[in-house]
Amino acid sequence: MSFKDLLGIDDIPTEDIEEIFSLADEMLEVIKTGSGEANNKIMATLFFEPSTRTRLSFEAAMHRLGGDVISFADAKISSVAKGESIADTARVVGEYADIIIVRHPWEGAAKIAADHTDIPVINAGDGGHEHPTQTLCDLYTLKKEKGKIEGLSVALCGDLKYGRTVHSLAYGLAKFGLNIICIPGEGLEMPSHVLEKMEGDYNYSPTRIKPRDAKSLMEEADVVYITPSKSHQLSLFTDKDADIPIERDATQIMSKIDALYVTRVQKERFAKSEEGGGAKARYPVVNKNFLKNASFKETLVMHPLPRIDEISYDIDEDPRSMYFRQAARGVPIRMAISALLLGTRTLKGSSPKKTDNYEIYKNSRGVKCSNEKCVSTNETQGYLIPEFHLISHQPLVLRCVYCGHIIRPQYVGNSKSGKYFHFASSRVKWIGAKNLTLFNSREEADQAGFHP
Ligand code: CP
C-alpha cells in the first residue's frame, strides 16, 4: 500500500480507486462466508460527533473481517472532556488498537491523530473539511449503477459550503475528470479554497449555477425540459450578472445529468451570523413530481444521508433513488479500505502515492490559519505549530495542511536578516523557504521583533 492513513480522498491514487472497488466486490462474498483475516486485530472508533452510517458500517466491517472493535460510548466520557489533546489521545489509543477511525468537528483533527501514532488512521469526517470513505461509497455507487465513472455528469446540490461529503466528492470526481455542476443553496456556495484546489491540483473548474437560478431551475424543472427553446421560458434563467449564459447552459446542463447529489443544510456548522437566516436553510425538494421530468429519466438521486426534507419519502422506492444503496455499500467499501490499511490485503497494481510537490512552511511565529474551525486554531495545548503548503512564492499563497484553507500573507520576514517586506516586494523571491516568516500585518511583524 502506498498510503498509511486515509485522511482525504487525495491520499488514494486515482488508479487504486477502481482496484478498491474490485476488493469491495470481493468483500461482498466475505460478508456471506467470513474470512477471519482480521482475527486478533482491533479497530478503535473515536467519534466526537454523532454518526449512524459511518460508525456502524466501520464497526460492522471490522466484525465481518473477524476483528474486534473498541470505542467510547460517548466522547463526553473520554478524557478529552478533561482537556486531553487529540495528539495524546491518538498516541495512547495507538497502543491499544491496530487502526483508528476518527470523526471530529475540527477540520484536520484526523491528521493530528495520524501524525501522533504509527498505526493507520482513517478520517471519518472532520468538520466541513473531508469525508473520504463516503466518497468511495459514492463513486462505487456510480460505478455499479452506471457501469463506469469517466464521462458522467454529476450535479452537487445543496450545502456546498459546509458539506464535507461534497468537498471530498468534488475532488474525487475531478480526479476522474467528470463533468461537475454545482447547484448551491443560497449562501451555501462551494468555498473558494475548494475551487482553488480543484483548479490548482486537478486543473479543473466545475460549472457553477447561481443559487437563484438553481431555484428556478429545480422548481420549474418540467418547463426546462419540455420546451427548452421557448423564449418566455428561457427568461426564467436570465441573469445579467451570471458568469455563464445561464439561460442556455442551464437548460442543456439539466438535461444531461447522470446523478443529482443532494445534501442537507449543515446547520450545526453555521457561523453565528448565518444562524438567523444569512444562509438560506431551504432549497427545492426532490420529490415524485420533480422526477417526472423526462430529463431525469436516467438520473440517479444520491444523498450521503441523513436527510432532513430535501428528498421526499415519496421517491424512496423509485429505482433511481440511491441513498440507501450508498449507505449499504459502506460495509464492503469500509471492509476493503480497513483490510488494506491493516495489511491483510494488498492492491495488485498499487500506484505510488503522488507526493505533494509543495514546500512546507511551518513556523510558530507569524501567520496562523484563518479558519476558526481548523484544528490548528482550536487545539490549545501548545504542541501544534501552524503548517502550510507553499502553493506559490510570488504572489505568496499558502494552504493550511490541516483544513485546506488558503491564506495570502501581507508581510514577509527574513529570519536571517530580521527584515520584513510587503508581499509584493521584489526582495521576497530572494528569501529561502527556511528563512521565511510570514505576517498578516505590519504590527504582527513589529511585535515579532522584525524591522522594515
Ligand atoms: N453519511 C454519513 O456520514 O452519515 P453519518 O453521519 O450517519 O455517519
DSSP per-residue string spanning 346-363: --TTPPPP----SEEEE-
CA distance 168 to 194: 9
In a domain, 394, yes or no: yes
Pocket lining: 53 vs ligand 1, CB cutoff 6 Å: yes
In a domain, 452, yes or no: no
| Residue 99 pLDDT | 98
CA of 325 to the centre of ligand 1 (A): 13
Please report how many Cα atoms fall inside a 13 Å half-sphere around the Cα of residue 389, on the Cβ side: 15
For residue 330, the ligand 1 atom closest to its alpha carbon is 1
Q: Provide the pLDDT confidence category of residue 283 given band limits of 50, 70 and 90.
A: low
Q: Which of 302, 326, 350 is the last residue of a domain?
A: 326
CA of 135 to the centre of ligand 1 (A): 12
Nearest CA to 124 out of 156, 77, 164, 88 is that of 164
CB 224 within 8 A of CB 254: yes
Number of domains the chain is built from: 3
Pocket lining: 134 vs ligand 1, CB cutoff 6 Å: yes
Q: For the domain that residue 28 is a member of, what is the CATH number?
A: 3.40.50.1370
Query: Does position 443 have pLDDT exceeding 90, yes or no?
Result: yes
Q: What is the mean pLDDT of residues 190-216?
A: 82
For helices 330-342 and 53-64, angle between their N-to-C axes, nearest 10 degrees? 60
Phi-psi region of 187 (alpha: psi -120 to 50; beta: other; left: phi over 0): left
For 103-123, the pLDDT digits (tens) are 999 999 999 999 999 999 999
| Residue 268 pLDDT | 84
Q: Which of 276, 310, 342 is the last residue of a domain?
A: 342
Nearest CA to 371 out of 407, 396, 412 is that of 407
> Is residue 145 packed enough to be buried (19+ CB in 10 Å), middle (13-18) or exposed (0-12)?
middle
For 410-431, the pLDDT digits (tens) are 999 999 999 999 998 888 888 8
CA distance 278 to 99: 41
| Residue 384 pLDDT | 95
Nearest CA to 395 out of 381, 419, 383, 411 is that of 411
CB 304 within 8 A of CB 263: yes
What H or E segment, with its residue span, contains residue 104?
A: strand 99-104
CA of 22 to the centre of ligand 1 (A): 23
Peptide bond into 409 cis (omega under 30): no
CA distance 407 to 388: 9
Sign of CA dihedral 152, 158, 160, 165: negative
Q: Which of 52-66, 186-200, 274-288, 384-398 has the highest mean pLDDT?
A: 52-66
For 146-197, the pLDDT digits (tens) are 999 999 999 999 899 999 999 999 999 999 998 898 888 888 899 999 999 9
In a domain, 351, yes or no: no
Query: Does position 102 have pLDDT exceeding 80, yes or no?
Result: yes
Domain check: are 123 and 145 in the same one? no
In a domain, 322, yes or no: yes
Domain check: are 318 and 337 in the same one? no
Query: Does position 88 have pLDDT exceeding 50, yes or no?
Result: yes
Domain check: are 120 and 96 in the same one? yes
Q: Provide the pLDDT confidence category of residue 391 given band limits of 50, 70 and 90.
A: very high
Q: Which domain holds residue 364?
A: 359-447
In a domain, 349, yes or no: no
CA of 269 to the centre of ligand 1 (A): 15
| Residue 229 pLDDT | 26
In a domain, 216, yes or no: yes
CA of 376 to the centre of ligand 1 (A): 24
Q: Provide the pLDDT confidence category of residue 226 given band limits of 50, 70 and 90.
A: very low
Pocket lining: 52 vs ligand 1, CB cutoff 6 Å: yes
Cβ-Cβ contacts under 8 Å for 358 (sequence gap 6 or more)? 389, 390, 391, 399
Query: Does position 221 have pLDDT exceeding 70, yes or no?
Result: no
Domain check: are 105 and 189 in the same one? no
Domain check: are 310 and 221 in the same one? yes
Domain check: are 250 and 311 in the same one? yes
For the chain, the residue count is 452
DSSP state of 369: -
For residue 50, the ligand 1 atom closest to its alpha carbon is 6
Domain check: are 98 and 165 in the same one? no
Domain check: are 106 and 160 in the same one? no
Q: What is the mean pLDDT of residues 94-102?
A: 98
Q: Provide the pLDDT confidence category of residue 222 given band limits of 50, 70 and 90.
A: very low
Query: Which tops the pLDDT comparison, 211 or 389?
Result: 389
For 347-376, the pLDDT digits (tens) are 987 777 666 778 899 988 889 999 999 999
For residue 49, the ligand 1 atom closest to its alpha carbon is 6
* Protein residue with least CA distance to atom 3, ligand 1: 54
| Residue 209 pLDDT | 74
In a domain, 353, yes or no: no
Domain check: are 335 and 301 in the same one? no
| Residue 246 pLDDT | 37
* Protein residue with least CA distance to atom 1, ligand 1: 304
CA of 340 to the centre of ligand 1 (A): 22
CA distance 266 to 161: 9
| Residue 1 pLDDT | 61
Q: Which of 316, 342, 368 is the last residue of a domain?
A: 342
Q: For the domain that residue 408 is a member of, what is the CATH number?
A: 2.30.30.20
| Percentages of the chain per state (helix, strand, coil), in multiples of 5 | 40, 15, 45
Q: What is the mean pLDDT of residues 311-318?
A: 96
Query: Does position 232 have pLDDT exceeding 50, yes or no?
Result: no
Query: Does position 219 have pLDDT exceeding 80, yes or no?
Result: no
Other CB atoms within 10 Å distance of the CB of residue 73: 8
For 23-43, the pLDDT digits (tens) are 999 999 999 998 899 999 999
Average of per-residue pLDDT values in the chain: 87
| Residue 275 pLDDT | 67
In a domain, 2, yes or no: no
Domain check: are 181 and 257 in the same one? yes
Domain check: are 314 and 337 in the same one? no
Domain check: are 151 and 177 in the same one? yes
Q: How many helices (H) and strands (E) does the chain have?
A: 17, 16
Query: Does position 79 have pLDDT exceeding 60, yes or no?
Result: yes
DSSP state of 185: P
219-229 residues labelled b (16+ CB within 10 A) or e (exposed)? eebebbbeebe
Q: What is the mean pLDDT of residues 331-341?
A: 98
Place of cell 504572489: 395
